[in-house]
Amino acid sequence: MTASTITETQVDKGLKPGALSLVSSIVIGVASTAPAYSLAATLGAIAAFCGLISPLVVLIAFVPMLFISIGYSELNKADPDCGTTFTWATRAFGPRTGWMGGWGILASDILVMASLSQVASVYTFHLFNADSIANDATGGWVLLLGLTFLAVMTWVCYRGIEISARLQRVLLSVEVIILMVFGLVALIRVLTGNAPAGHVTPSINWFNPASVSFSSLISGLLLMLFIYWGWDTSVSINEETADRTRNPGRAAIIATVLLLVMYFVVTLGVQAFAGVGTTGTGLANPNNVGDVISVLGTAVFGTSWFGQLFYHLLLLMVLSSAAASAQTTILPTARTMLSMSVHRALPDSFARMHPRYFTPSVATLVMGGVSAAVYVLMNYLSQGLVIADAVTAIGVWIAFYYGLTGFTCAWYYRKTLLSSARNFLMRGLIPLLGGLMLYFALVWSIGSDFNFASGVSYTSWTLPFGPRWVIGGVFLIALVSAVLGLVIMVAWWLARPPFFQGKVLSRSTATLGPTRP
């Protein structure tokens, strides 16, 4: 069944229109990336792969993210549906491709929730100097508090989008201010000669890609894509945003640019202060690589009462970053489920709305419940190392559904691309290039993730028959989640075929451009 046989329906899903301003949409888009958490968890690994060119990797990874955000903006003008990639890919390429695009969003969001919950829990114990509990990341107290955070964030999302937006403004304000202060203080200490041994003065050579191997550059780039991921939440809440055909796309692009500024300043300052060595405060130190911010906090701010105040604010920042991202991860997932249900790609119950809060009640609660179950399971597998591999596996899904959106935009508007230079660039060439970049990274990632010897995975599985291959845990998580998605799709296809017979969505206006103001 092709997309051309699908009949168009525009359905009022029951969400509260105009509930969010442009500013609120930008805030939610930036908060969804969890800047502090993302930098803490991956900056060390990027330095281990790329050495001193980490700031360059920040700039390179920004390019496909900007290109895809432009594609999101253009598609949203034609169809501001909260299903985003699911809806658009269905109309462009057909129901099966669209369904897997929606599954890419669901799978990546569910996989990341375990890490977000655990980081929020661990940093809470660090904040109150309960380091012995925090260092036992798979312990009962960490798990219990992580589940509590998850329950609270689910409840906030259940209560309404305005409450979520107000909370995000507070959390993100603290996060951005402290994070920028952290990066600038680190850089100033280097430039004024007050940095510890191992620091490195910024140099133009930090932007020379020839100083590392191509393989290392791509590995660092894949990790940086994860750091940028999440801005598309601005578009997922489009049906609740004022001027929903324009503001969500603007918010996505602005959020991406703000992330570039923040990441570049922090990466430049932290790398100059700590260096990329494998000992001491070096970013590539195996003891620091999983959490560089808490390790460097005291070194950057000092041991005075003022320095300790900022250090604890730094811990609070990472805690709030993970908690905020957990909340803003639930938002787009629940709305993707809602859209898929409204268009008969999931059971009808996922379309049930709360009569007072105007939120997808069942979808929100299911997202929270499934995330909690996955968190508990991963917590006890391989002493929690599966959680780390799950975070890396998300890169496969990010590249998949972001790249699919780029291709969708170019195909969606294919008949009008030559009508103007703007259409050719903004609706064709730029999104297409973004998709190609991400799919190149996707293929490269799958190859390196498969081989455990590549060092990408913390866990592994040895093939019990045939060649005794040692397969990386990251590859297995991505594979299992993909197979699970295919199984669910086929099962629903057999049980309720209307969506897969092309009786719900359409692309009748897609190739002609937007018809609504």
List, for residues 477-500, the tens digit of each pLDDT value.
999 999 999 999 999 999 888 888
Q: What is the CATH number of the domain that holds 223?
A: 1.20.1740.10
Average pLDDT (292-317) is 82
Stretch 2-13: mean pLDDT: 47
Question: What is the structure's pLDDT at 101?
Answer: 95
Phi-psi region of 383 (alpha: psi -120 to 50; beta: other; left: phi over 0): left
pLDDT at 319: 81
User: How many structural domains does the chain have?
Assistant: 1
In a domain, 512, yes or no: no
Q: Would 62 be classed as within a structural domain?
A: yes
More confident residue, 507 or 236: 236
Q: How confident is the model at residue 135 (pLDDT cuts 50, 70, 90)?
A: confident
**Amino acid identity for residue 238 in this structure:** N
| Of 474 and 5, the one with more pLDDT | 474
Is 327 inside any structural domain? yes
Q: What is the pLDDT of residues 375-418, one digit of tens each?
A: 998 888 777 778 888 888 888 899 999 999 999 999 999 999 99
Residue 510 has pLDDT above 80, yes or no: no
Q: Which domain holds residue 217?
A: 3-168+208-255+321-497
503 belongs to a structural domain:
no
Please give the structure tokens belonging to residue 42: 């991956």
Q: Can you tell me the mean pLDDT for 429-450?
A: 91
Assess if residue 193 is contained within a domain. Answer: no
More confidently predicted of 417 and 315: 417
- Tell whether 233 is covered by a domain: yes
Torsion of CA 100, 165, 146, 389, to 10 degrees: 40
**Whole-angstrom distance, CA of residue 231 vs CA of residue 220:** 20
More confident position, 454 or 347: 347
Taking only the tens place, the pLDDT of each residue in 171-191 is: 777 788 888 888 999 999 999
160 within a domain of the structure (yes/no)? yes
Runs of H (alpha helix) within 95-213: 95-127, 131-134, 140-159, 161-191
Region 338-362: mean pLDDT is 86
Q: What is the pLDDT of residue 267?
A: 92
Nearest to 39 by CA among 321, 456, 385, 437: 321
Residue 515 maps to a domain: no
**Cβ proximity of 319 and 134 under 8 Å:** no
The pLDDT of residue 224 is above 80: yes
Select from 198, 228, 222, 151 the least CA-distant residue to 295.
198
